Amino acid sequence: MSLATASRPARTAQPAGPARRPARRGAPTHWRRLLLVLAALLAAYAGMHVALRDVTWWLAGAGFAVLVLAATTLARQFTRRLWVPYVAAIGASVLAVTAGFASDKAFLGLLPTFESADRVNRIINAGWQSIQEQRVPAQPDTGIMLLLVLTMICCALFADAAVTLVKSPALMAAPLLTLLGIPVSVRPELADPVWFVVTAALFLVILRLDRRPTSGPVLALVGTVSIVGGLLTPTFLPGVVEDQNPLGGGVQTGINPLINLGDDLRRGDAVIAVTYRTAAERGVYLRLATLETFNGRSWAPNIVNNIPGNTVDDFPSAPGLGPDIGRIEQTVDVTVGDIAGRWLPLPYPTQSVEGTVGEWYWEPNGLAARSTDTGVRGQKYTATYYEVVPTLAQVQAAVPHTEADLDTLDLPSRMPESIAEIANEVAGGLPTSYERAMALQDYFTSGDFTYSEDAPVEKGYDGSGVDIIARFLEEKSGYCVHFASAMAIMARTVGIPSRMVVGFQPGEQLSVQGITSYTVSSHDLHAWPELYFEGVGWLRFEPTPGRGELPDYAANLPVDDPATPEDEGALPTPTATAQPGNAPERPDDAGIDTGAPATAASGSSPLPVVLGTIAALVLLGAVAPAVIRVLVRRRRERAIRAGRDPASAAWAELRDTARDYGWAAPDSETPRDFADRLAVVLSRESEAISGFRSEVEESAFAPPGRGAPSVADLRALRRAIASTVDARDRLRAIFLPASLMIRFRWDPDG
């Protein structure tokens, strides 16, 4: 404002001294309603806990909901334009999604690029695939997490628009029912009545805040009917029949390949899973996942972390493999067929992989490789690996667990006594780990056990938990999951670290025009145990009768006196292969524990990055007013020094400073009137105030470049005004400057 306009008569009389800022009508109701909207969204979102594991998914979704509502609310403090808050919220969400899920492809780790957009798109596609692959309750891997985050962003935007823009709180029912309906769409009985009722109560409170007198009872009735109907409707809906093969006829490896192994083995017609070529003398075992964690009910795959250094271009050394152990470098050219999942079939130990499409990462213990945004179907690649050939003497001399991961010895606190009794009876008294391992393998392959096509289902003990294994040891009939889990558990019982592996047997060998290739079908899916021997590493054993190839060290070949020369070299060429006369194993149910779902592991969760990004954006939004206010002050001070209308700049800054610290400073008040009021309160600064007023008035009428006010005097007056309030009001003046808010004052009821 110029001094010319400042000399006009005041439109309203202003009380002397600091003025209290009047409360804006409707503001408390708006903030209460906004918090209720957030609470209702988070309550409805929490209802999905029946379909998902852990709490990471809820924290991520809640963070994005807070981000959206905070962005729209903050934007409204600076503008009356209806579209700006939603553009701000969408922009903040895009930045947070980019930083949380594709930061390595983004500019400065935050700004989206074409590469980051492509990464996000692939993660979304992987999320849909993961939903189809997993069983309830599902593990929220990166893809599922992103889908949930996007859902919460949309629901929060819709809810904000319904309550603030359209002013129709009843429309809140749409996002709330969307969130509550997600688990119901999977299976009607999954609905959690507790969170349904909590959400309903919050929804009714939101409706109660609607000030239109005629709409409250009607909307409350509509809300009540919707809630009661939502609770009762699932009771009358038919149950959802789970599709055992949601992605077609291929192999379903999913998050945990152990889950669908039985389904794939027992299918009537085998499908081609993998074909490969290698110059090795024998076929190759292609591993999918390594399962080391055992909680008593199920085995879970090792977690594959999406770390840039963990790409399949270069694998680490195999754990425990000593330098004196013989090894032959080999390559295998793999073409993946009809497989649904994201585990890459690889030999062990793989050294490098070339030719894959997408981003694949390895985990350090089992050297399994997995992707969170790319499917394995149709992949073509070349893997370089070592064919490890230890001598029998090296295996016999190895100690079991000086460096093995302690988790591979863990056993559940409650376990049927029969398992430990049988393990100790079979192998407990033998002196070396190798002898104990061979005794356990011989126990299952000696002829007392058979694999069965129907026993696992008919007798009700399908799965890999300790209770099921106890029954399996009694029945002596099962398939590879039972045999592998039983030997691994019993090995831990007698002190040998163990784990399970899921993958493919070598398959059928074909030779065409001198080129040898192998065809691996869904019937070649297999599970086997691996036992750890220090200095040698993890060694495969085969307890399932009629399945797989026995390794040299596990073939139970006769052993001569160790002192003789014949015992010093590598083991003889293996002669034991898949035993003739035994049909491929095809049990009648999947390797799932009844009563307790298998724990699924996935790629590393982006939750810390997502929440950190959200926190950074919220912090940025919180300090934005303070930064803008400082920039405005600096611009005015530069104008004063440069002589560009210094009177108006000085007066505007002093007036805004007063507003920031709670003083009334209307546009209609002249500098002289305002200075008089300041002098009454700041009596000690009356001379400085009078001098500054004179400078402003003189500058207003003086020729350009003469009589400019002093920036130092202006700053002294600013400090004097700040000294009249306590620390709390000073902080509010810094971070929520009223001089900015008054320019874009937003009336929620206007």
From residue 315, give the alpha-carbon distance in Å to each of 277, 363, 381, 590, 603.
21, 9, 15, 32, 17
Q: Are residues 300 and 227 in the same domain?
A: no
Residue 244 lies in a domain: no
Written as one letter, the residue type at 14 is Q
Both tokens of residue 581? 């006369």
β-strand pairing of 477-478 with 369-370: unpaired
The secondary structure element, H or E, covering residue 301 is strand 299-301
Distance CA 509, CA 515 (A): 10
Both tokens of residue 378? 């149709």
Q: Are residues 319 and 462 in the same domain?
A: yes
Q: Are residues 550 and 638 in the same domain?
A: no
Q: What single DSSP character describes residue 269?
A: S
Can you tell me the mean pLDDT for 725-742? 77
Of 251-265, 479-493, 567-581, which one has max mean pLDDT? 479-493
Residue 602 lies in a domain: no
Per-residue pLDDT at 543: 92
Coil/strand/helix, residue 293: strand
Coil/strand/helix, residue 588: coil
Tokens 């295998």 belong to 332
Q: Are residues 653 and 537 in the same domain?
A: no
Task: Single out the residue in 546, 567, 588 at which a domain terminates.
Answer: 567
Coil/strand/helix, residue 254: strand
Q: Report the alpha-carbon angle 89-91-92, nearest 5.
A: 65
Asked if 364 contacts 349 with a C-beta cutoff of 8 angstroms, the reply is no
Residue 749 lies in a domain: no
Asked if 570 contacts 395 with a C-beta cutoff of 8 angstroms, the reply is no
Distance CA 518, CA 512 (A): 11
Q: Are residues 165 and 311 in the same domain?
A: no
Both tokens of residue 9? 């008569």
Per-residue pLDDT at 617: 60
Number of H helices, E strands in the chain: 23, 17
Is pLDDT of 306 > 80? no
Per-residue pLDDT at 744: 47
Is pLDDT of 540 > 80? yes
Written as one letter, the residue type at 691 is G
For residue 293, the cross-strand partners are 300
Residue 330 lies in a domain: yes
Per-residue pLDDT at 187: 64
225 lies in which domain range?
27-236
449 CB-side CA count, 13 A? 27
Look at residues 385, 158, 123, 401 and name the one whose alpha carbon lies nearest to residue 278.
Answer: 385
Mutual angle of helices 142-160 and 27-46, in 10-degree steps:
150
Asked if 447 contacts 546 with a C-beta cutoff of 8 angstroms, the reply is no
The secondary structure element, H or E, covering residue 265 is helix 257-265
For residues 27 and 642, the model is more confident at 642
Distance CA 256, CA 291 (A): 9
Is pLDDT of 145 > 90? no
Per-residue pLDDT at 192: 75
For residues 10 and 536, the model is more confident at 536
Can you tell me the mean pLDDT for 447-461? 65
Asked if 143 contacts 130 with a C-beta cutoff of 8 angstroms, the reply is yes
Q: Are residues 326 and 473 in the same domain?
A: yes
Written as one letter, the residue type at 382 is T
Predicted confidence band of residue 598 (pLDDT cuts 50, 70, 90) = very low
Residue 591 lies in a domain: no
DSSP labels for 594-607?
TTSPPP---SPP-H
Asked if 498 contacts 485 with a C-beta cutoff of 8 angstroms, the reply is no
For residue 559, the cross-strand partners are none
For residue 321, the cross-strand partners are none
Q: What is the CATH number of the domain that holds 410?
A: 3.10.620.30
Distance CA 678, CA 671 (A): 10
Q: What percent of the chain has pLDDT over 70?
A: 71
For residues 744 and 442, the model is more confident at 442
For residues 621 and 238, the model is more confident at 621
For residues 251 and 675, the model is more confident at 675
Is pLDDT of 560 > 60? no
Per-residue pLDDT at 272: 86
Is pLDDT of 586 > 50? no
For residues 563 and 480, the model is more confident at 480
Q: Are residues 463 and 386 in the same domain?
A: yes
Distance CA 130, CA 252 (A): 11
Look at residues 525, 168, 531 and name the one whose alpha carbon lies nearest to residue 339.
Answer: 525
Of the candidate ranges 53-67, 148-162, 198-212, the one whose mean pLDDT is the lowest: 198-212
Per-residue pLDDT at 442: 92
Residue 601 lies in a domain: no
CB count within 10 Å of CB 345 equals: 28
Asked if 690 contacts 628 with a C-beta cutoff of 8 angstroms, the reply is no
For residues 254 and 490, the model is more confident at 490
Q: Are residues 73 and 134 in the same domain?
A: yes
Predicted confidence band of residue 566 (pLDDT cuts 50, 70, 90) = very low
Both tokens of residue 31? 């903030």
Written as one letter, the residue type at 507 is G
Is pLDDT of 208 > 90? no
Is pLDDT of 668 > 50? yes
Can you tell me the mean pLDDT for 285-290? 91
Q: Is the peptide bond before 137 cis (omega within 30 degrees of 0)?
A: yes
Distance CA 618, CA 67 (A): 7
Q: Each residue of 93-102: pLDDT tens digit?
A: 899 888 888 8
β-strand pairing of 339-341 with 251-254: parallel
Q: Each residue of 319-360: pLDDT tens digit?
A: 888 888 889 999 999 999 878 788 899 999 999 999 998 889
Q: Are residues 550 and 665 in the same domain?
A: no
Asked if 367 contacts 498 with a C-beta cutoff of 8 angstroms, the reply is no
Q: Each residue of 269-287: pLDDT tens digit?
A: 678 889 999 888 888 999 9
Q: Are residues 492 and 634 in the same domain?
A: no
Is pLDDT of 708 > 90? no
Average model confidence (pLDDT) across the chain = 74
Residue 750 lies in a domain: no
Can you tell me the mean pLDDT for 170-188? 78
Asked if 277 contacts 517 with a C-beta cutoff of 8 angstroms, the reply is yes
Q: Are residues 213 and 321 in the same domain?
A: no
Distance CA 343, CA 360 (A): 9
Phi, psi angles (nearest 5°) of residue 526: -155, 155
Q: Are residues 330 and 391 in the same domain?
A: yes
Predicted confidence band of residue 571 (pLDDT cuts 50, 70, 90) = very low
Can you tell me the mean pLDDT for 387-394? 88
Both tokens of residue 658? 């007063």
Using only C-alpha atoms, the chain has a radius of gyration, in whole angstroms, of: 36
Residue 657 lies in a domain: yes
Tallying the residues shown for the chain, one arrives at 750
Is pLDDT of 542 > 80? yes
Q: Each residue of 602-649: pLDDT tens digit?
A: 344 455 555 566 666 666 666 777 888 888 888 888 888 887 877 778
Asked if 252 contacts 133 with a C-beta cutoff of 8 angstroms, the reply is yes
Both tokens of residue 75? 């934007």
Q: Is the peptide bond before 364 cis (omega within 30 degrees of 0)?
A: no
For residues 12 and 520, the model is more confident at 520
Per-residue pLDDT at 141: 78
Is pLDDT of 574 > 50? no
* Number of separate domains in the chain: 3
**Is the model's pTM score more than 0.75?**
no
DSSP collapsed to 3 states, 304-364: CCCCHHHECCCCCCCCCCCCCCEEEEEEEEEEECCEEECECCECCCEEEEECCCCCCEECC
Distance CA 747, CA 750 (A): 5
Is pLDDT of 56 > 50? yes
